[in-house]
């Protein structure tokens, strides 16, 4: 070889070596898609489920938050039909094929919660055979496909193929595994059960808890499907073995070849983590601000447990040592927060006695006997009283200006201010301010402000402001503002604010945060697909929010926006007429939305507006228009519906002018007086909804 050529070869090797890292980095390592389906309806001969949709939402939250699924790669179907699922699978196949070029590995997770039988899934009362489902999944160009079915007889999906159960293992992004993993909540001849107490199905409830970190046996902060399955299997079997329907055995069919683990959730991706330390033991219940049970687990001593949760305020209850203990904890983005079991306060339990057993005092968990207990405490100012401050008062605390107590189980009254650092189980009355640092069950009454921290199971009444930094299970009434965390009762004030609402707000302005309750006011703001709102303007994220375009007997083209809660909405519409050049309409109205069956729905509303000719609102002719409408719609796809309807129209001519004739109305307007005339008649319209 010529010496002149050798340097060129070395230069080529160097350039190739430098280019390899750039070439490898041009392909992303892993992309995961998820199709999550919920359907409460299974057909006329099957009971309507309560928690299929909420189970699907819980699974979607975990997959997006901790499972590596981008929001844009999640398809969430509620009250789906077989055609909805087929359409979603077709879209998924297209997106998966497009993703192959930019990613070394592509995975798909399918989750279904609803009815099924031995032949197939029954979303919306229709049938999607297992054979078709397996064929659709097998046709996806992915490295690993994972199907999780929480439904009766879902084990038939596995049995129908005759596959053998193999030792479960999944993969991380460096693995070389190919194949499928099918996980079902029950065997082929068993029913899948849900519970009102936990607000979910047993299987999904425990599977989600496991994916949040409870199933992380090897403490590597990652949960594989193997770990999640083992956790959900034992927890589901334990909770159902004494139920009326009998024990429920989750099942699996894993056919994977290669090496490595598929990680379903990764706590290093968690926005916030709740840490139960090594010494904690007992059954823990974790509830979010809406009092939904988001995690439930038996904690054994000897190893710490981490739970990945969304940032926010949570209520944690522990059943252990013969009693119940409760606390509230704030989880912040990107922070691991340790639960100090020793600071949890005792929660009341119903009295009970076992036959033939001796009475035993309940033990505490790392807390002292608490403050000194007195029956009556009388004082002048906070801290200056008959028995001194920070006492546990069982009967009466009476203070001229104000009192400071650790806990009050009776009546506390003061001329200006009451301050209680612990539980109040009865009544606080003050001329100005009441402050509670813990839970209380009773009544707070003040001329100006009530402030509580914890859970209220009674009533807050104030002349100006009620502020509760916790959960309300009773009533808030104020002359100006009510503020609370989770609300399961009633808020009544000109302004009501709750971070989560499952009760009722009545006021001028209502802010419900995450809501599945009822708001009645002029302006309502909330989020949640089950939120109900009655008012002039209701803005509900996840509610009935749609853009409509239609043609009617009075307009060639109209467009309107419907926005509101699950069943009540406001509509703003504008249209261009064709009876006369430059004829316009503008209307505002309110209505109700009623799902019928399948994909059919009925909307009934009323609109009030005006029609005019010319380029301005003060055109040559102007008239008022009232319209009552009934709309029958059919949902073609998840975001496209067609509709048609009939209306009753009344047009009022103003300023001595007759209204323009309605298409099906009276040809001769009726004169009411010298200035006003009216024409009325039925109308028709049809259009599309987006």
- Flag whether pLDDT at 171 surpasses 70: no
**Structural domains of the chain, with CATH:** 27-267 (3.40.50.1460), 270-347 (2.60.40.10), 377-541 (no CATH), 546-689 (2.40.160)
- pTM score above 0.85: no
User: Which of 378-387, 552-561, 654-663 is least confident?
Assistant: 654-663
Share of the chain above pLDDT 70, in %: 70
Look at 402 and 443; give whichever has higher pLDDT: 443
622-626 long-range CB contacts below 8 Å, 24 or more apart? 622/654, 622/655, 622/657, 623/651, 623/652, 623/653, 623/654, 623/657, 623/659, 623/660, 624/651, 624/652, 624/654, 625/554, 625/585, 625/587, 625/649, 625/650, 625/651, 625/652, 626/650, 626/652
- The confidence band for 581, taking pLDDT boundaries of 50, 70 and 90, is low
What is the mean pLDDT of the segment spanning 428-453?
Answer: 71
- Flag whether pLDDT at 370 surpasses 80: no
> Average pLDDT over the chain, rounded to whole?
76
What is the mean pLDDT of the segment spanning 427-440?
Answer: 70
pLDDT tens-digit readout, 444-471? 777 777 777 666 667 777 777 778 776 6
- The confidence band for 192, taking pLDDT boundaries of 50, 70 and 90, is low
pLDDT tens-digit readout, 201-210? 888 888 999 8
- Flag whether pLDDT at 162 surpasses 60: no
- The confidence band for 350, taking pLDDT boundaries of 50, 70 and 90, is very low
User: Are residues 64 and 29 in contact, defined by beta-carbon separation less than 8 angstroms?
Assistant: no
Predicted local distance difference test score (pLDDT) of residue 571: 92
Beta strands of 15-140 (E only): which ranges? Answer: 28-38, 74-78, 103-113, 120-121, 128-129
* Alpha-helix runs per DSSP H in 67-174: 82-99, 130-138, 156-159
- The confidence band for 90, taking pLDDT boundaries of 50, 70 and 90, is very high
Look at 507 and 168; give whichever has higher pLDDT: 507
* Highest mean pLDDT: which range of 287-291, 306-310, 539-543: 306-310
Look at 416 and 594; give whichever has higher pLDDT: 594
Predicted local distance difference test score (pLDDT) of residue 112: 93
> Helices 52-66 and 202-209: crossing angle, nearest 10°?
10
Look at 623 and 494; give whichever has higher pLDDT: 494
Phi first, then psi, for residue 612 (nearest 5°) are -155, 160
The three-class DSSP label of residue 207 is helix
Measuring CA to CA, which residue among 583, 514, 331 is closest to residue 497? 514
Predicted local distance difference test score (pLDDT) of residue 77: 92
Predicted local distance difference test score (pLDDT) of residue 454: 62
Predicted local distance difference test score (pLDDT) of residue 654: 64
The total number of residues shown for the chain amounts to 690
- Flag whether pLDDT at 159 surpasses 60: no
As given in the structure block, the two tokens for residue 598 are: 């399948």
For residue 300, count CB atoms less than 10 angstroms from its CB and return exposed for 0-12, middle for 13-18, buried for 19 or more.
Answer: exposed
Look at 74 and 45; give whichever has higher pLDDT: 74
Share of the chain above pLDDT 90, in %: 14
- Flag whether pLDDT at 512 surpasses 80: yes
Predicted local distance difference test score (pLDDT) of residue 174: 43
- The confidence band for 23, taking pLDDT boundaries of 50, 70 and 90, is very low
Predicted local distance difference test score (pLDDT) of residue 95: 92
Predicted local distance difference test score (pLDDT) of residue 1: 41
- Flag whether pLDDT at 399 surpasses 50: yes
Predicted local distance difference test score (pLDDT) of residue 682: 85
User: Are residues 577 and 601 in contact, defined by beta-carbon separation less than 8 angstroms?
Assistant: no
Look at 127 and 651; give whichever has higher pLDDT: 127
* Highest mean pLDDT: which range of 368-377, 401-410, 495-504: 495-504
The CA distances from residue 277 to 313, 320, 337, 342, in Å, are 19, 15, 10, 11
* Highest mean pLDDT: which range of 114-118, 388-392, 409-413, 420-424: 114-118
Predicted local distance difference test score (pLDDT) of residue 559: 93
What is the mean pLDDT of the segment spanning 636-648?
Answer: 89
User: Which of 219-223, 268-272, 477-481 is least confident?
Assistant: 268-272
- The confidence band for 672, taking pLDDT boundaries of 50, 70 and 90, is low
What is the mean pLDDT of the segment spanning 502-514?
Answer: 85
- Flag whether pLDDT at 335 surpasses 80: yes
- The confidence band for 579, taking pLDDT boundaries of 50, 70 and 90, is low
Cβ-based neighbours of 540, under 8 Å, separated by 6 or more? 515, 524, 525, 526, 527, 528, 531, 533, 563, 564, 565, 566
């Amino acid at each position: 070889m010529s010496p002149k050529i050798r340097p060129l070869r070395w230069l080529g090797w160097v350039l190739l070596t430098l280019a390899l890292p750039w070439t490898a980095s041009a392909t992303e390592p892993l992309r995961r898609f998820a199709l999550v389906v919920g359907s409460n309806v299974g057909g006329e001969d099957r009971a309507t489920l309560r928690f299929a949709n909420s189970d699907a939402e819980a699974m979607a939250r975990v997959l997006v938050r901790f499972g590596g699924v981008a929001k844009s790669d999640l398809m969430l179907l509620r009250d789906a039909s077989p055609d909805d699922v087929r359409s979603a699978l077709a879209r998924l196949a297209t997106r998966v094929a497009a993703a192959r070029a930019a990613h070394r590995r592509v995975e798909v997770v399918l989750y279904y919660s609803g009815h099924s039988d031995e032949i197939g899934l029954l979303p919306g009362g229709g049938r999607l055979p297992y054979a078709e489902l397996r064929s659709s999944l097998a046709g996806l160009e992915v490295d690993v496909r994972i199907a999780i079915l929480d439904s009766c007889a879902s084990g038939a999906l596995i049995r129908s193929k005759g596959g053998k159960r193999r030792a479960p293992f999944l993969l991380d992004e460096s693995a070389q595994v190919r194949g499928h993993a099918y996980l079902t909540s029950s065997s082929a001849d068993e029913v899948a059960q849900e519970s009102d107490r936990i607000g979910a199905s047993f299987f999904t409830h425990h599977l989600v808890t496991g994916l949040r970190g409870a199933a992380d046996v090897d403490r590597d902060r990652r949960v594989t499907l193997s770990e999640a399955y083992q956790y959900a299997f034992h927890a589901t079997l334990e909770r159902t073995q004494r139920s009326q329907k009998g024990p429920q055995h989750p099942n699996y069919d894993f056919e994977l070849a290669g090496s490595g683990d598929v990680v379903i959730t990764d706590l290093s991706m968690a926005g916030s983590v709740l840490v139960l330390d090594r010494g904690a033991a007992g059954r823990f219940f974790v509830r979010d601000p809406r009092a939904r049970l988001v995690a439930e687990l038996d904690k054994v001593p000897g190893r710490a447990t981490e739970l990945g949760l969304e940032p926010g305020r949570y209520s944690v209850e522990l059943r252990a040592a013969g009693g119940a203990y409760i606390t509230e904890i704030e989880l912040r983005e990107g922070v691991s927060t340790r639960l100090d079991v020793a600071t949890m306060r005792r929660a009341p339990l119903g009295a009970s006695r076992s036959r033939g057993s001796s009475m035993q005092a309940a033990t505490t968990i790392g807390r002292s006997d608490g403050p000194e207990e007195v029956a009556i405490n009388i004082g002048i100012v906070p801290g200056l009283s008959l028995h001194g401050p920070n006492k546990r008062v069982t009967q009466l605390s009476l203070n001229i200006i104000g009192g400071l107590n650790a806990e009050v189980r009776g009546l506390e009254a003061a001329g200006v201010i009451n301050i209680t650092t612990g539980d109040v189980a009865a009544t606080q009355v003050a001329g100005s301010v009441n402050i509670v640092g813990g839970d209380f069950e009773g009544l707070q009454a003040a001329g100006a402000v009530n402030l509580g921290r914890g859970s209220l199971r009674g009533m807050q009444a104030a002349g100006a402001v009620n502020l509760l930094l916790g959960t309300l299970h009773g009533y808030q009434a104020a002359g100006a503002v009510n503020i609370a965390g989770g609300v399961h009762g009633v808020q009544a004030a000109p302004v009501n604010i709750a971070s989560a609402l499952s009760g009722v707000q009545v006021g001028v302005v209502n802010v419900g945060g995450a809501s599945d309750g009822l708001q009645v006011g002029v302006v309502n703001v909330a989020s949640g697909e089950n939120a109900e709102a009655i008012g002039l303007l209701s803005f509900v994220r996840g509610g009935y929010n749609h853009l409509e375009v239609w043609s009617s007997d009075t307009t060639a083209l109209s467009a309107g926006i419907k926005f509101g809660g699950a069943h009540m909405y406001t509509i703003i519409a504008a249209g261009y007429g064709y009876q006369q050049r430059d004829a316009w309409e503008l209307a505002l109205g309110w209505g109700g939305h009623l799902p019928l069956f399948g994909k059919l729905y009925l909307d009934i509303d009323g609109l009030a507006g005006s029609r005019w000719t010319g380029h301005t609102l003060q055109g040559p002719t102007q008239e008022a228009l009232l319209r009552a409408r009934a709309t029958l719609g059919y949902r073609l796809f998840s975001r496209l519906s067609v509709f048609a309807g009939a209306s009753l129209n009344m047009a009022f001519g103003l300023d001595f002018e007759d209204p323009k004739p309605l298409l099906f109305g009276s040809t001769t307007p009726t004169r009411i007086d010298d200035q006003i005339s009216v024409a009325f008649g039925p109308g028709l319209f049809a259009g599309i909804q987006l």
